[in-house]
Structure 1
Amino acid sequence: MVGMAHRFPVREIARQAGVSEATVDRVLHGRPGVRPGTVLQVEQAIAELDVQRGQLRLSGRQFMIDVVMETPQRFSTLTRRALEAELPGLRPAVFRARYRVAERWRLPELIAELDRIARRGSHGVLLKAPDVPEIADAIGRLARAGVPVITLVTDVPTSLRLAYVGMDNRAAGATAAYLLNRFLGADRAPVLVITSGDDFRGESEREIGFRQALTGLDPERKVIAVTSDGLDATSRLRVARVLDGCARTAVYSIGGGNRGIAEAFAAAGCDCAAFVAHDLTPDNVELLRDGVITVVLHHELRADLRSAARALMGFHGALPEHRPRPAAATVVTPYNLPGESVGGH
């Protein structure tokens, strides 16, 4: 408590706590003669004054942010819904968002969009983009223009981004390996590991975590890599090629396109031994309920966006500095589906 002694006037603390100024002074300086319950009253009063000060600091503050994403439409829709659901909870600050999303950006066009934001100004960019040097350079130009960038669900760690918000992807991949190893047991079915390519750091981290953990758990298990683009049509075609003449196979779908993957299995007459996926998209929820997907690795996207907003407000001095931490994955089965299907990628 001593470190908090001069945050507020003693009189203000006493009024908030409903005790005398002398009692507050004794608590702040650690003097004896104060009941434990009264000490808690004073501590609670200081915490309440902190909240009130933060609300006053935020009152009337307006933040315009840009959401720039390369991602399948199903995930950009989830992100928009999650952000719009979260914005009212950020009051008294007012957030408005501009969206620039595409399932596939040409890299020069994506760079040009980030440079436009740097020129026109923004209170922050939420970015889901490939981890390539050109993107890192564009983030650097934004940072030097005073526009903070927060990477969302997939990181660009060598850039000047302010923070990363999203899942601990390496731990999520290791969790997938653990689950599939337990599901399969003595069954020697190979595992298809399906990604959207090597440019997205989040997917690469999931695959690294998966392979490292599986090597420790079952070094003889065969892993078959398939690169798609996260879209159902492409995933169906590319998985079908691998399944030609197959018998029984398990799946770890890192990059999505899971309805297409399921259709490829059905068309090939191939038994899916177990299916681990990411994201509580409407398609994945339906596939999980129907028993096609075995489990979904989920984290709360709204919590990510709330953390990103706090980090941006901290950057602009509206709140104390906030440094987000990667989120842990939750294993979702048909029996513990959240009430609302707003997931994380």
Structure 2
Amino acid sequence: MKKLTLIKVAELAGVGIATVDRVLNERGGVRPETVRKVLRAARQAGLQRLLPDDTQHPWQIEVFLSSNGTWFFQQLADEFAQIADRLGYRKIKLFRTLVNENPPEKLAEKIKKSSELRDGIIVYGHDYPVIHQALLHCHEKGIPVITLVSDLPGAQRFCHVGINQYQAGRTAGLLMSKSMKTPGDVIMVSGRFDFSAHIQRIAGFRDALTQRAPWLRLREVLAGEDERHKIRALLKQTLLQADNVVGLYNSGDNNSDISALLQQQQLTDCCYITHELYDVTRLLLQQGTLSYTLDQNARQHAVISTDLLIRHLETGFQPDIYQDGRVELRIVTAENMA
């Protein structure tokens, strides 16, 4: 083994040559996370020798999810826990951390700190410069990061796992155009208009409806900031002002409040489209209040992202940034609920 190669491994792992020697010759006395770093660096450096079996040290993966309390993120957290239980502690040690989306600096600091302790990171974050900087920090340290649900174009992420959010919006627009053939107003409600997933969904919906249904009039987007009282106030005012509401598309949450207002205004024939299949939307579909819901499939997000990360850590697999992490959108009606 050439000394220059050992030096390169030490530099990549950020440790001394003595530590590299202890790990490669299995002398012990090295923390598991440091063992991981050295073995990962050895593979990266193309070290031509049989490396120690690192399966005795479970892969340490941290998952950062939103703490906003919506069903989707609660379900995601549960799905990741089930995956960790199924793989077992000898295979993976998974840490789930819930972080408020604002301020983004808080998440950025947690990502950087995690890069010192974990073998890989899965993160739901938004398109802020400080988050891009955190992912660049991870990239420079050789820690793979998978973005989840909401992509960060141009960031140094390993790959992205999620649905095509723009396509989801276009799908909603297509469904609206096929369902409503008479002229009228269509209302768009967005959870957070500064978050890329909502921006892309609304843009897709607007584009599809403009192209396919010129007889439908799109009103200005109601940006409720994920605040129930604000969404209620904005929607109530709009419903009172509009002459003939025939459709409503909600890119976010708060479907209980939205459906209640539609019922108060006796808009029973309104084509109402939203996202995710959970207890509220399931009931609204059964009642006939909700026309369609577009489900992201939380389970697939957890399974695909964990699988891609472990394959990379174990074999060096390099996925396509979008294709390998693509999650299929499911259109759910009252007739095909699982």
Is 2:316 the partner of 1:310?
Answer: no
Conservation of the 8 A alpha-carbon contact between 2:296 and 2:330: yes
**What does residue 182 of structure 1 align with?**
178
Secondary structure of 1:173 counterpart: helix
Conservation of the 8 A alpha-carbon contact between 2:99 and 2:107: no
Query: How many Å apart are 1:206 and its aligned residue?
Result: 1.7
Q: Compared with structure 1, are the counterparts of its residues 193 and 103 closer, same or farther at alpha carbon in structure 2 (3 Å cutoff)?
A: farther
**What does residue 155 of structure 1 align with?**
151
**What does residue 135 of structure 1 align with?**
131
C-alpha distance in 2 between matches for 1:79 and 1:58? 28
**64, 70, 83: which one pairs with 2:80?**
83
Task: Normalising by structure 2, report the TM-score.
Answer: 0.75
**What does residue 284 of structure 1 align with?**
281
Unaligned stretches of 5+ residues in structure 2: 1-52
Which moves more between the two structures, 293-302 or 150-159? 293-302
Q: Which amino acid aligns with 1:331?
A: I
Secondary structure of 2:79 counterpart: helix
Q: Which amino acid aligns with 1:166?
A: G
Percent sequence identity over matched residues?
20
C-alpha distance in 2 between matches for 1:191 and 1:61? 55
Query: How many Å apart are 1:333 and its aligned residue?
Result: 0.9
Query: How many Å apart are 1:198 and its aligned residue?
Result: 3.4
Q: Compared with structure 1, are the counterparts of its residues 122 and 241 closer, same or farther at alpha carbon in structure 2 (3 Å cutoff)?
A: farther
Unaligned stretches of 5+ residues in structure 1: 1-56, 339-345
Q: Which amino acid aligns with 1:332?
A: V
Query: How many Å apart are 1:116 and its aligned residue?
Result: 2.2
**Cα offsets for 1:47-78 (capped at 9, x unmatched):** xxxxxxxxxx8954512222222353122211
C-alpha distance in 2 between matches for 1:104 and 1:260? 23
Is 2:265 the partner of 1:294?
Answer: no
Query: How many Å apart are 1:204 and its aligned residue?
Result: 1.9
Q: Which amino acid aligns with 1:330?
A: R
Conservation of the 8 A alpha-carbon contact between 1:235 and 1:258: no
C-alpha distance in 2 between matches for 1:128 and 1:238? 28
**What does residue 219 of structure 1 align with?**
214
Query: How many Å apart are 1:115 and its aligned residue?
Result: 2.5
Query: How many Å apart are 1:296 and its aligned residue?
Result: 0.9
Conservation of the 8 A alpha-carbon contact between 1:253 and 1:278: yes
CA RMSD of aligned residues (A): 2.4
Query: How many Å apart are 1:230 and its aligned residue?
Result: 3.3
Q: Which runs of 4+ in 1 moved over 6 A?
A: none
**Cα offsets for 1:167-186 (capped at 9, x unmatched):** 12122111111101111112
Q: Which amino acid aligns with 1:131?
A: D
Is 2:122 the partner of 1:121?
Answer: no
Query: How many Å apart are 1:293 and its aligned residue?
Result: 1.4
Task: Normalising by structure 1, report the TM-score.
Answer: 0.73
C-alpha distance in 1 between matches for 2:214 and 2:84? 46
Q: Which amino acid aligns with 2:328?
A: A
**What does residue 329 of structure 2 align with?**
329
C-alpha distance in 2 between matches for 1:231 and 1:185? 33
Conservation of the 8 A alpha-carbon contact between 1:78 and 1:281: no
C-alpha distance in 2 between matches for 1:145 and 1:277? 40
Query: How many Å apart are 1:139 and its aligned residue?
Result: 1.2
Query: How many Å apart are 1:222 and its aligned residue?
Result: 1.5
Q: Which amino acid aligns with 2:62?
A: D
Query: How many Å apart are 1:166 and its aligned residue?
Result: 0.8
Query: How many Å apart are 1:107 and its aligned residue?
Result: 2.3
Is 2:199 the partner of 1:199?
Answer: no
